[in-house]
Structure 1
């Protein structure tokens, strides 16, 4: 975890609402605060469904953790300015080599973190690791309805007839991931070996 005064960024919703338990990425942040850490917390809005704004912000409030909501597009500037010291997200599926599918926008955050020399962590249970999938190319990405981008709350945000592309997830290549935190172990590259050991130990 970052030192007191440093900043951690998380993306989408990864707390009890998403996992019915302690949470993954949000759970790591929560554990850090419960152990006395006083680092700064930032969470993205997470377009187009705004899970970060609607759910993650609420969970942080319930936990008494002061967090700052940012627009997805503000993350790069904040990294460049030194406001963010590390990024931690959840995962929907992890391939055997560590390539990770997660909420759309995760890949962009990993590239920004890499460019700015910031560690990028994944927090997920070993049940998320699919050793039968060699790499990220084997992960099918769901495409959601266009209206989720062109309208919000029933109100249009784009001109009628606008065509939208709306993938629900993206895949972050393993080269941008510093470590994958599971309940069994903290897995580091080469992920082919460390993830298999974690799954076997779980």
Structure 2
């Protein structure tokens, strides 16, 4: 009962941190999904566009080969000075996570497209579909349906990766928790509640993603 009495007044503060985490994640997800899907399409075997595909491969290799923590510092401090724009911590945070996610989504989409048998393309052409129509109505639908598990894992990873944004001052869930621990000196209870918040967010995101894909693309 004493623990419940201690945690209860802290819940609104943790909830605000969770909301900030979701805001960052949703914005990063939009960037990663939009640009990553485009990169994946244009670098796939059937639609490979040189030198664009080479640039995409290089970008993916660099992003996957460096820690997101380092990417965050480079963007927040380096890019801001380079372009002369003073990005807020929140803006720098979701852009960095979005650009990081772009590389992984691109690989997922590219792999999904490449896995579709060539006969699917040829059958669509025989039916009078253009290349764009084939991609939109035949290939992408199957790609997304077959990649739902990988995409869901990437979206969940975004939520967890947002926990590093506190180092540049974003008041997301983990930073709020650390501040509470510094003030209250009771790390076990606070971090357990933090873990429950993350578990709830990732579980809901996984459920919503699978439901949306199932409804939109007939995933069983």
Using structure 1 for the length normalisation, give the TM-score. 0.23
Higher helix share: 2
- Higher relative CO (CA 8 A, sep ≥ 6), structure 1 or 2? 2
Higher strand share: 1
TM-score (norm 2): 0.22
